[in-house]
Amino acid sequence: MRLAVEGSLSELGRAQERLLFERAPHDDPELAGAVREIVAQIRERGDAALRELARRYDGAALEALEVPRQRWERALEALDRPVREGLERAAAHIARFHQAQLPPALELEVAPGVVLGRRVEPLRAVGAYAPGGRAAYPSTVLMCVVPAKVAGVDEIVVCSPPGPTGEPADAVLAACALARADRLFAVGGAGAVAALAFGTETVPRVDAIVGPGNRYVTEAKRQLAGRVLIDCPAGPSELLVIAEDGAEGADPALIAVELCAQAEHDPDAAVACVATSPALARNVWSALETRLPREPRREIIEAALAARGAILACDGLDDALAFAERYAPEHLLLLTRDPRGRLERVRAAGTVFLGPHSSVAFGDYLTGANHVLPTGGLARSFSGLSVLNFLRVATYQEVGPEAAAALAEATRVLAHAEGLPAHAAAAEARRPS
């Protein structure tokens, strides 16, 4: 087994720090150029370019880009009962948690006769991206579509890469039916993001694009962020485990299975463990090495570990938490003596799992918190997907006649101070004659 970084946290070299902390895909000029070309092709050639990309990257010859709703419904009916029940349970939890996040309307009289208000309105149309390729992600369909439904979005368009049959996986189709999406297109990668941003002959233009993806998807979202609302830079999966020596649940075997679970997503996944003693770090390494041969997706896990995997020892919990703030992971698992008490120290993580029973896998599927989260160290700036991503806030202002007279002089003074005499005149026009 080979890890990208191992040893002592205090002895990290400059190259090792860059490998750990500089994970954002836009640092790769070759990737940025390739995505820029794909975006240009979609903008210029629309559906024809989408079909060409499907042939090149997915090995699919698409007769139609859109998958009919009847096909989704058949997939849902044919879904194994335990899988359907699991998706239904997940959808119910997601709806409940996101319903609680809806912000109320607001109206406030900030001064006599000056009334300000806030109206919360759903977006007209959103695009949801569900990854494909190495695995199908019906859970991601639920994480994107259900909150949009809760918000009241008019039209929800799902894009997911086609398989050899020319359609996304049956589980993705079934999830679209279960979540009550409006349209589904068998398009993937950066091309799907561009199609949703610009619109094509078939794919509608949307107001916002949400959902995780590989490096190409994340880079396309970054490049198009000024043209369409983007949720967050949700790229390949990330996990940081902080393990405190002597804490209940800081079990090397448990840590190993959590690291494998996130690494199996993608060779570009980033997984790390910071342990508060060299002995615990060595035990985690041994547990991971023991577990790897039993993993069905061993090749993917090993590639991820070799590229960005890390097991590090530190001098104490304070050092580990300081590292977590710099690392800013998508998922942070706290296996410490008082995980809830340590939560206030965490200022940069997409979502935090507290204690040994809180597997990250539960959050991936069933807890109801969203699994579309910022990656690449950008959890220090971005929030994960929530119902707020599907809403816009519009304010309104009403000023009565007496309040207008009271505001006029101060507005005139400020307008002249900024060199805007017409503003001053507009305010003075409200003075009583």
Taking the domains of the chain in order of start, what are their residue ranges?
5-24+236-368, 29-100+120-232, 400-428
Contacts of range 32-41, beta carbons closer than 8 Å, 24 or more positions apart: 32/219, 32/223, 34/216, 35/190, 35/216, 35/219, 35/220, 35/223, 36/223, 38/189, 38/190, 38/191, 38/194, 38/216, 38/220, 39/190, 39/193, 39/194, 39/220, 39/223, 39/224, 41/191
Any idea which fold 29-100+120-232 has? Answer: Rossmann fold (3.40.50)
Q: What is the mean pLDDT of the chain?
A: 95
Catalytic residue, from 98, 265, 331, 371: name it. Answer: 331
pLDDT of the residue at 24: 76
pLDDT > 90? residue 135: no
CB count in 10 Å sphere of residue 254:
19
Is there a contact between 76 and 178 (Cβ–Cβ < 8 Å)? Answer: yes
Report the alpha-carbon angle 200-204-205, nearest 5: 90
Residue 20's pLDDT band, with cuts at 50, 70 and 90, is very high
Q: List, as one string, the DSSP characters of 1-28.
A: ---SEEEEGGG--HHHHHHHH---GGG-
pLDDT of the residue at 406: 94
Unique residue bearing structure tokens 């006599």: 112
Same fold, 5-24+236-368 and 29-100+120-232: yes
Catalytic residue, from 330, 357, 418, 428: name it. Answer: 330
Question: Among 3.40.50.300, 3.40.720.10, 3.30.1330.10, 3.40.50.1980, what is the CATH number of 5-24+236-368?
Answer: 3.40.50.1980
- Helical ranges in 100-169 per DSSP H: 138-151
Read off the pTM.
0.93
pLDDT of the residue at 25: 65
SS3 state of residue 375: coil
pLDDT > 90? residue 213: no
pLDDT of the residue at 215: 86
* Tens digit of each residue's pLDDT (9 = 90 or more) over 106-129: 999 999 999 999 999 999 999 999
SS3 state of residue 68: coil
Burial class (CB in 10 A: 0-12, 13-18, 19+), 294: exposed
pLDDT of the residue at 432: 85
Residue 26's pLDDT band, with cuts at 50, 70 and 90, is low
Is residue 330 annotated as part of the catalytic site, yes or no? yes
